Amino acid sequence: MVKTADSGTKTAANAVSSYTGETIPHLPHASVTAAPPTGQRVQPSAAQPVLSGSDVTDYGDVEYVADPFLFVESGEWHMFFEILNSDREPDAPIGHATSPDGLTWTYDQVVLEKQYHTSFPLVWKYKGSYYMCPPTGQKVELYKADRFPTDWTHIGNAIDVDYYPHDPTFIRYDGRWWLFTDRGNEQVMIYHSTDLEREGWTPHERNPVVTDRRDAARQGGRPIVHDGRLFLYFQDLVENYGDAVRCCEVTELSPSTYTDREVAGSPVLEEFGTGWANNGMHTFDPWWRGPEKGWRCAVDGVRAQESLDDQWTIGIIDLPPV
């Protein structure tokens, strides 16, 4: 059962999705009439695998791929994701694949390689520039594209803290930027800034805003703003890493207040069947394709097996419009 933080006093304000305006398009192209995918209509067993470690051609004997994030522009689909090869140093860079339709994917290349392990490459566009926030160690680093999608430059650290902030997500909401991450897989940590590219973001006054919540503290996908309502996806880690992805609506958010609640229909993803995702799923990135087509979502899944080869695989699931 997801527990919430104590109530505050301010209700989150309306926001409008736009590639060039004040809000990151976390509900890409969708109108206010498009219900976000919060779990009611998601059937994880419908997800089809589209990319595995064996598809990666430029990083040796890759064990798996995971943490997929989409970006669609001018009719071309892009996917950014973690690559893991434990025999390489660094063991995990960020890879890129392309697709004409979001269903059939072709691996491209490694597009970001640090000195250390990195993952969870959330990508967005703001005022004509492309950004990515793949974390490393105790820093949440911000990267900006010199040439999208292959060339990225580190422009600063939003935070540099004394713990490991896993899987950070960014969103512009209610007139400022918000960074959501976790501490110890069970505490929700928030930081904010009025300037996206500023270093040393301000910690939320009540950090950690949620404690003792292993079923919904670590981020599990792209946040969604829909008709002034903010939805976050969280990983459920109670039993094992990657048990499920839960969806919570943020009901209050300010520099001094935070509350959320799990929505009806959550979890969005969880293990299923005997195939490629029979032992867990932990990333969910939905993309709106229009009122006649609905959502196309990138997910990942892991299968129970003795070998680590292709342990995590990336899949696609389509959700009909409402």
Q: Which residue has the higher pLDDT, 247 or 17?
A: 247
Question: Is 280 part of a structural domain of the chain?
Answer: yes
- pLDDT at residue 307 tops 80: no
pLDDT at 189: 98
Looking at the structure of the chain, the number of domains it has is 1
For residue 80, give the 3-state DSSP assignment.
strand
Q: Which residue has the higher pLDDT, 91 or 294?
A: 91
| Residue 226 near residue 27 (C-beta atoms within 8 A) | yes
Q: What is the DSSP letter of 171?
A: E
d(CA 184, CA 182): 7
d(CA 89, CA 74): 35
Q: Which residue has the higher pLDDT, 13 or 245?
A: 245
pLDDT at 9: 34
- pLDDT at residue 308 tops 80: no
What value does the mean pLDDT of the chain take?
Answer: 88
Question: Is 23 part of a structural domain of the chain?
Answer: no
Select from 250, 256, 283 the least CA-distant residue to 167.
283
pLDDT at 22: 44
- pLDDT at residue 65 tops 50: yes
pLDDT at 145: 98
Mean pLDDT across 13-25: 38
Mean pLDDT across 85-104: 97
Percent of the chain past pLDDT 70, that is, above it, reads: 89
Question: Is 4 part of a structural domain of the chain?
Answer: no
Encode pLDDT of 153-164 as tens digits. Answer: 999 999 999 999
3 band by pLDDT with thresholds 50, 70 and 90: very low
d(CA 232, CA 171): 10
Question: Is 34 part of a structural domain of the chain?
Answer: no
d(CA 72, CA 30): 13
Stated as kind and residue range, the H or E segment containing 145 is: strand 139-147
227 band by pLDDT with thresholds 50, 70 and 90: confident
Question: Is 12 part of a structural domain of the chain?
Answer: no
pLDDT at 179: 98
d(CA 106, CA 138): 33
Question: Is 197 part of a structural domain of the chain?
Answer: yes
| Residue 162 near residue 142 (C-beta atoms within 8 A) | no
d(CA 287, CA 295): 5
pLDDT at 188: 98
Residue span of the structural domain in which 114 resides: 44-319
| Residue 281 near residue 300 (C-beta atoms within 8 A) | yes
Q: What are phi and psi of 53, to 5 degrees?
A: -60, -30
d(CA 147, CA 190): 30
CA angle 138/141/142 to nearest 5° reads 165
Question: Is 147 part of a structural domain of the chain?
Answer: yes
Beta bridge partners of 154: 143
Encode pLDDT of 245-301 as tens digits. Answer: 999 999 999 999 999 999 999 999 999 887 899 999 999 999 988 888 889 999 999
Encode pLDDT of 25-44 as tens digits. Answer: 444 556 677 788 888 888 99
Percent of the chain past pLDDT 90, that is, above it, reads: 71
d(CA 145, CA 83): 19
Q: Is 128 exposed, middle or buried (0-12, 13-18, 19+ CB in 10 A)?
A: exposed
d(CA 86, CA 272): 27
pLDDT at 184: 97
Encode pLDDT of 162-213 as tens digits. Answer: 999 999 999 988 889 999 999 999 999 999 999 999 999 999 999 999 999 9
pLDDT at 296: 94
Q: What is the CATH number of the domain that holds 60?
A: 2.115.10.20
Question: Is 114 part of a structural domain of the chain?
Answer: yes
**Cβ-proximal residues to 32 (8 Å cutoff; 6+ apart), any chain:** 226, 227
Mean pLDDT across 84-102: 97
Strand order in the sheet with 64-73: 64-73, 76-84, 94-99, 106-112
